Structure formats: structure tokens, C-alpha cells
Amino acid sequence: MWKSKIAVSAAALLLVLGMAKEAGADRRGYVWTYEYQTMPNGHAEIEYYLTEEQKNIERAKPNTWKHWVELEYGITDHWDISMYQQFKQSNTASSNTFEYDGFKIRTRYRLFEKNKLPLDTLLYLEYIRNDNLEKHNVLEGKVILAKDMGDFNFAYNFILKQELASGGKTEHEYAAGISYSIIPQFKVGVESKGNYAGRKYYAGPTVSWSTNKFWVSLGAVAGLNKRSDDLQARLIIGIPLL
């Protein structure tokens, strides 16, 4: 089981590192919370996400490992678009499965320039198509509010998810973060996320490191109540292409 996880992760990492240009176009300071930024006009980037979800940390199983590959492109300096391909490995006491998990298409638009509003504002829209045809398609919208104050960054994401079916479920979520830039290449922070309908809430630390060729962000959050997973962790690697 562990060998297959490592092999998949290593293959994805080598793929994106082999495409590296100079980094920094869409560097993420958080792993669940979006900031006030978009891909610059004419620039492209590939990002690899590795997410682990551990229901009970006292037991090795069940757990889920999600692998996402995102390709994004800047249409203008304020507007970008991207597509995700998703894969999932589910491990239980009786089986281990690795499967294609569908795709997502998302777009972001920055309103005005930085510091023109009391809170910098970005609009986010995403279409989610699960590989399981029995599940409804989902439309996800976010209003992203952020502010830089010196070396500190504050960001809050209001999230609304709607199943695209008659009587489809509506979910309200949030993600929020505070980070501090120790040096331009290295940021540390705290992040929280939650689902109001499911009453699942999480909080934990995050770090971000940028080099000349790529950037890496790593975060982990602990569940704050019994409804939440005990632990979720996420790694994101971003590689500029253009």
C-alpha cells in the first residue's frame, strides 16, 4: 500500500519538476484558503495536490489519499482559468483502491487592483464533475476577501456549493488563514476551514517555500469536533510553465 502511494506521488512530482521555469506566478501561502491573486496574462502553471484524510489517527485505516493535477492559464492580469484532473486512493481494512475521480474547471477574477477596496476582493467559480455518474454535478462559488498588512496576510473565503439537480443539496463552507512572511521565500501561518451544514471544523499550521524553479506549500489541520476527521494534510507543488 505505502509503496504504491509513494510511487504515484513521486511520479507526479518528477513530471512537474521536469517542466519547471522560474517560479512565483501563482504561489500559494495556504493550502485550503485562496488569496487575492490570479495568474498573470499569458502565464501558465501546473500544480500537484496531495491530500490525506485520516478519519481516526489511532487506526491506520480507513484513510483516503487524493491526487490532483491542475493546469492554469492567465487570460488577463485579472482573470484566469484552470482544469483539474482528480485521482483517489481509498484504503480500508478489506481493500485498497486507486481510481479516477473526475475533473474540475474553475475560473477566478480579481476586482480592481490591490488596496482599492477596504478588503481586496476576488470572485471564484468552479464546476465539479465526479467520475461516479450517480453523483450530481456541483457548482461552487467563492467570495475571497484578503488584506496584506506589512508582512502579514489575512484571507477569508466564503464558499457556497450547489448540486446541479432538482432539490440538490446546498452547502455553506469557509476557509480562512493568517500568514507571516519571515523572508520573501518563506511564509508561516495558521489556517482554518469548515462546513456549516455538516458541522465539521478544522484548524492547523501551514508553511510555504518558494525557490527559483518551483514553490511548495504544506499544511495540516486537526478536527475540532467528533464530526470531523481527526487529521487532514495537504501538499501543493507549483511549477510555472510560461
- 17: alpha, beta or left? (left if phi > 0; alpha if psi -120 to 50): alpha
| Residue 222, pLDDT score | 98
| Residue 22, pLDDT score | 47
Burial level of 139, CB count in 10 A (0-12/13-18/19+)? middle
Q: Apex CA 177: angle with CA 21 and CA 187, to 5°?
A: 45
Each residue's pLDDT tens digit, 7-58? 555 555 455 444 444 455 679 999 999 999 999 999 999 999 999 999 999 8
Q: Please say whether the dihedral angle defined by the alpha carbons of residues 114, 119, 123 and 126, taken in this order, is positive or negative.
A: positive
Whole-model pTM: value is 0.88
CATH number (domain holding residue 61): 2.40.160.40
Each residue's pLDDT tens digit, 185-239? 999 999 999 999 899 999 999 999 999 899 999 999 999 999 999 999 999 999 9
The residues with which 238 forms a beta bridge, in sequence order, are: 47, 215
- pLDDT at residue 3 greater than cutoff 60: no
Total structural domains within the chain: 1
- pLDDT at residue 72 greater than cutoff 60: yes
| Residue 220, pLDDT score | 98
Residue 41 sits in which domain range?
Answer: 2-240
